[in-house]
Structure 1
Amino acid sequence: MKIVGHQINKHLINLFDYKNVHFICVEINNIPNYAKELIESIKNTSWIDKLDVIGKLSYTETSFETIDKLVAIFSVSEDPISTDFGEYLISMTAGSSLEKLLSHEVLPLSELWKEKKSGNAGFDFHTITPRKLISFGEAKYSSVRNPYKAAIEQIVSFINHEKGNRDLPHLQIIAGKESIDNFLKGDKCYCAAFSLQNTQTFDGIIKKITSLTEFGDIIHAGNEIFVIGIKICHP
């Protein structure tokens, strides 16, 4: 994984307030080797060891079942890659990018700690910013297009349906009290991550994203916004 671009746009909300929006461009090379790295990350269950007794009882069985499923998906990194593999790839790369570039703490992949029911279960990944704000992330993958609009629209839908609130019983256990207290005060962040066909088009995509009405909705809802375009390089 290589971060190839990062720019910060300040969006004015009113005369006394503005929101930082980070636009980050990433490349992934050597998919088989990278998939092996992600498998090791998925298998790392040290986060469970840090939980209290109730947390360990709650998440151990669910996590290990999901780990087996994800390892099977990540072990088949054929070209073209599957949609499932692609979306997990985008989710985990986005989290790693925020950790590397902006010192976020990456929480375990959502599917490791919440049961996935029919329909869209909610946000795909979460991180904690250095200011102890929870960032709610949505990942979209396509082999033929740049699905930035789908990611943006999905986040707005989740905000309108208060999907972040539904994660609170879990986040209260794994994210820490300060982050939860900030969330309850209305302080939170959002991240839209999507596959990118070509890094050279990222500046043009930024212009399209900032013109979306839905993007303005996200800016007003979050304290800080992260937009991550991820180019998956094929041999």
Structure 2
Amino acid sequence: MKILEHRLLNELSPAKVQYIRIDPEDISVTLVDILKFLMDLSWLKNFDEEYEQRAFNSKAQKTVDDIKEKFAKCSDDKITKEAGEYVVSELSREALINELGYLDIPLAELLGKQRSGNPGFDFHSANILTDTVIFGEAKYVTRTSAYSSALPQIKRFIDDKKDIEDLPDLKPFCTSKSLNRASNGQKGFAAAFSARSTSSDNLIKKIKERDDFKALLVYEEIILLAVNI
């Protein structure tokens, strides 16, 4: 993948708002790279007990097998709707790690979270300089930019306290200070979305006009991640 743009939207302070545009480049290569990242289960060492490592290894393997099956249905030049959200999630998560230097936390589904029945945020990270946990939601829509799906979903999850419910799952990865800050409202959110060919200026303009985006500006950080698929 390639980072095409990284903007700091200073006009929206005091919240720290960043915009990152991501190019997956060669889709077939990207899918292979994503699977390599997902199959690297070195993060299991974060769990102290052997039984925890075995349990989370079993959950992660089932998820990886499911993702492999969805990726196998993709062609060389395009991805399926079923695979799209994984691509947006993982590329955005990697951008937080590589571009911003934020904490590497595996995708929520690898930790055993169910997307159906009790859905929650798709990915997480943390600004290690400020001890700010980042809760990320990814959306993929085939015909249009998906920010209009990602932003209201984040708002619904906040209203339903899904971010608070996620905190115990993040204990092996985050500091106690960051988790307590998040519990007290000092946290950040990442909206990751497929962006098609819409220009960044137009995306940012439309997002800034949305009430569900404005509602997020009371928090520490907002990261907008536009993925060119």
Q: Would the TM-score normalized by the shorter structure come out above 0.5?
A: yes
Once the two structures are overlaid, the 10-residue window that deviates more, 106-115 or 175-184, is: 175-184
Q: Which residue of 2 aligns with 1:102?
A: 100
8 Å CA contact 1:193, 1:229 repeated in 2: yes
Distance 1:205 1:48 in 2: 38
> Residue 11 of structure 1: CA displacement?
4.9
Mapped pair 1:33 → 2:10: no
Structure 1: gaps (5+ residues):
none
Once the two structures are overlaid, the 10-residue window that deviates more, 19-28 or 47-56, is: 47-56
- The amino acid across from 2:9 in the alignment is N
Q: Which residue of 1 aligns with 2:217?
A: 219
Distance 1:195 1:37 in 2: 18
Q: Which residue of 2 aligns with 1:93?
A: 91
Distance 2:145 2:214 in 1: 19
> Residue 6 of structure 1: CA displacement?
1.5
Show CA shifts across 1:143-164 (max 9, x none). Answer: 2100111111100000111001
Which of 2, 9, 15 is matched with 1:19 structurally?
A: 15
Q: Which residue of 2 aligns with 1:166?
A: 165
Q: State the TM-score, normalized to the length of structure 1.
A: 0.89
1:69-88 to 2 correspondence within 5 Å?
Answer: 69-78=66-75, 79-88=77-86
Cα distance, 1:120–1:150 mapped onto 2, change above 3 Å:
farther
Structure 2: gaps (5+ residues):
none
Q: Which residue of 2 aligns with 1:147?
A: 146
Distance 1:31 1:187 in 2: 36
Cα distance, 1:138–1:120 mapped onto 2, change above 3 Å:
farther
- The amino acid across from 1:50 in the alignment is N
Q: Which residue of 2 aligns with 1:2?
A: 2
8 Å CA contact 1:114, 1:170 repeated in 2: no
More strand per residue: 1
8 Å CA contact 1:91, 1:139 repeated in 2: yes
Secondary structure of the equivalent of 1:174? coil
Cα distance, 1:49–1:217 mapped onto 2, change above 3 Å:
same
Once the two structures are overlaid, the 10-residue window that deviates more, 162-171 or 112-121, is: 112-121
Percent identical residues: 30
Q: Which residue of 2 aligns with 1:186?
A: 185
Which of 41, 53, 62 is matched with 1:65 structurally?
A: 62
8 Å CA contact 1:24, 1:226 repeated in 2: yes
Distance 2:183 2:157 in 1: 17
Show CA shifts across 1:42-61 (max 9, x none). Answer: 10000012311053244122
Once the two structures are overlaid, the 10-residue window that deviates more, 223-232 or 51-60, is: 51-60
Secondary structure of the equivalent of 2:171? helix
Cα distance, 1:96–1:175 mapped onto 2, change above 3 Å:
same
Show CA shifts across 1:154-210 (max 9, x none). Answer: 0000011100111122112333323213223321110001111115x1211101100
8 Å CA contact 1:62, 1:113 repeated in 2: yes
Distance 1:65 1:159 in 2: 28
